[in-house]
Amino acid sequence: MKKILVTGGAGYIGSHTVVQLLNSGKDIVILDNLSNSSLGVIKRIEDLTGKAVEFIEGDIRDRALVRATFEQHTFDSVIHFAGLKAVGESEAFPLRYFDNNVSGSIVLFEEMMRANVNQLIFSSSATVYGNPGSVCYTEETPLSPINVYGRTKLMVEDILRDLQKANPALRIALLRYFNPVGAHESGRIGENPFGKPNNLMPFMTQVAIGAQEKLMVYGNDYPTPDGTGLRDYIHVEDLAAGHLAALKALEQNASITVNLGTGKPYSVFDMIKAFEGASGVKIPYEVVTRRAGDLSEYYADPTLAKKVLGWEAQLGIDRMCADSWRWQKNNPKGYS
């Protein structure tokens, strides 16, 4: 059987997707430089699936390594998660982001083409939409990212659209994720940010175990019902399932661009309440000024994903919070 190359497969979304791929009988190889993940996740994936994982520690920008990887294995698809994702860091170190996310993707695509591998799933993001005015994003919403990270995602999308025009044999799915949260139900794998978390859910779980003193709520003066920002949080297990659905859908449809979200926005206060309910732990918080670059509200119109992938999110915020909490409680120091 041909294999799937999973770049960034040791990361948060990649590891959950790899578990589902292995459980559905796919053969995979992970290529990851561990710049934002730990080797410990590989053993956990093996424990959860009962399967040995082929793991290559390396960088997608290392052309010799990427070429050797394509020569040593027969792949029919690539799922490309590898990338840097911290918005603030991308603004401070733009070249690091363009190099890693854009140049790295170009090396990967060149070697993929050289090896005649024609099928790709790319991790894009709702950030490609920027601040379009409307708050419910369809795939037709204009693309105009407002930060460096988002521009790297749009650049790679553009590269792939042009590449497919020049090479009609390619089959490409661009999946635009909204706000991934949650963890595997076992509590064995989950989100493991290095240093202080940037995102709401991992910050909240770290407050709950006492690793952070309190949650800073970035603004309660937005034009939303409770004044805090509204987002479309999606369980990472639903997101992972979206990749398996995309692999299947690519058999019928060579060019797919879809939002992966639930379509249901929740506020920061909604998330605190749901988390306290799921964990039984009170979350101390302080309302502070808005975080630069944050939008008031946005969420996915998930209609197209349902139509094209036959996929829709199944898990609600209580389950997202319960699973995030189980992971954090059982692994207060992540994988170490």
Q: What are the residues binding ligand WQD (CB under 6 A)? A: 85, 87, 125, 127, 179, 198-200, 203, 215-218, 229, 231, 268, 291, 294
Contact 61, 104 (CB under 8 A): yes
Per DSSP, helices labelled H in 192-335 are 200-208, 236-249, 268-279, 303-309, 317-330
**Residues 170 to 209 in contact with ligand NAD, rule: CB under 6 A:** 177, 180
> By CB under 6 A, how many residues form the interface with ligand NAD?
27
Residue nearest to ligand WQD (CB): 229
* Nearest-approach distance from CB 8 to ligand WQD, in angstroms: 13
Residue nearest to ligand NAD (CB): 11
Return the structure tokens found at 65: 């390594």
State the maximum Cα–Cα separation within the chain, in Å, rounded to a whole number: 56
149 is catalytic: yes
Helices 12-23 and 40-49 meet at what angle, rounded to 10?
30
123 binds ligand NAD per the rule CB under 6 A: yes
Residue 64 Cα distances to 59, 60, 70, 133, angstroms: 10, 10, 10, 44
Return the structure tokens found at 265: 């926005």
Spot the catalytic one: 149, 177, 266, 298. 149
Cα 254 from Cα 96, distance rounded (Å):
32
Of the pair 1, 143, the CB lying nearest ligand NAD is at: 143
Which of the ranges 54-62, 286-294, 306-314, 328-336 carries the binding residues for ligand NAD, by CB under 6 A? 54-62
Which of the ranges 29-37, 135-143, 264-272, 320-328 carries the binding residues for ligand NAD, by CB under 6 A? 29-37
294: partner contacted, choices ligand NAD, ligand WQD, none (Cβ within 5-8 A by kind): ligand WQD
Q: Nearest-5° angle of CA 323, CA 32, CA 82?
A: 75
Among 4, 5, 6, 13, the residue binding ligand NAD under the rule CB under 6 A is 13
